[in-house]
Amino acid sequence: MKFGITQYTNLTQEQNNWINDLSVELKAFFETRNYGQDLHELYFGLITVKPEFDQFFKKKRPRYRPGERTSQVDGIETKSNNCTEIDCKITFSQVSGLNKKKLIERVCLELLSESDCLTRLSRLKRFDFNSYKSDLENFLTNKNYIEEKIL
């Protein structure tokens, strides 16, 4: 399964790099895993913007795009296959001053929490949510990104 975290943030470059490193680790972890025919790609859009930009970055409902698709975004062609996009929004003031450990923990907890919406996507039928959630949680716990199991 393809996995990624995109960022829409006003955080520092260093903080953005920490989150990007987390995304790279999760991508490598999930690329050999399969949770069913209906979900091959899962992307989280992390929104942490200053209050004055909040109106431009609203959290959208989770989107599932079944089948193979090709789309154009700003002149760049992208292909997807059974793809889900989930927005995560964290208030800027809650994370802007955090150190690496606390920031990554906050982001990981948000990813776990927002993952629950996968169970509410009616067209996502052939997907083993429990295995996905367990794998994600175990990975984050083993890496000491979160303290204890949430399930």
Write out the E strands in 12-143. Answer: 41-48, 63-73, 76-89
Task: Decide: residue 64, CB within 10 A, 0-12 exposed, 13-18 middle, 19+ buried.
Answer: middle
Nearest Cα neighbor of 36 from 135, 127, 143 is 127
Strand 76-89 and strand 63-73: the pairing is: antiparallel
Inside any domain, residue 84: yes
Inside any domain, residue 127: yes
Please, which pLDDT band fits residue 113 given cuts at 50, 70 and 90? very high
Nearest Cα neighbor of 42 from 65, 25, 75 is 65
Inside any domain, residue 98: yes
Give residue 116's domain range.
2-142
Question: So what's the pLDDT on residue 151?
Answer: 47
Inside any domain, residue 17: yes
Percent of the chain exceeding pLDDT 90 equals 83
Inside any domain, residue 109: yes
pLDDT, one tens digit per residue, over 39-77 is 999 999 999 999 999 999 999 999 999 988 887 767 888
Inside any domain, residue 148: no
Which helix (H) or strand (E) segment holds residue 9: the answer is strand 2-9
> What number of other Cβ atoms are within 10 A of residue 109's Cβ?
17
Instruction: Give the chain's domain count.
Output: 1
Inside any domain, residue 149: no
Residue 103 in tokens: 């920031």
> Distance (Å, rounded) from C-alpha 7 to C-alpha 16?
8
Inside any domain, residue 13: yes
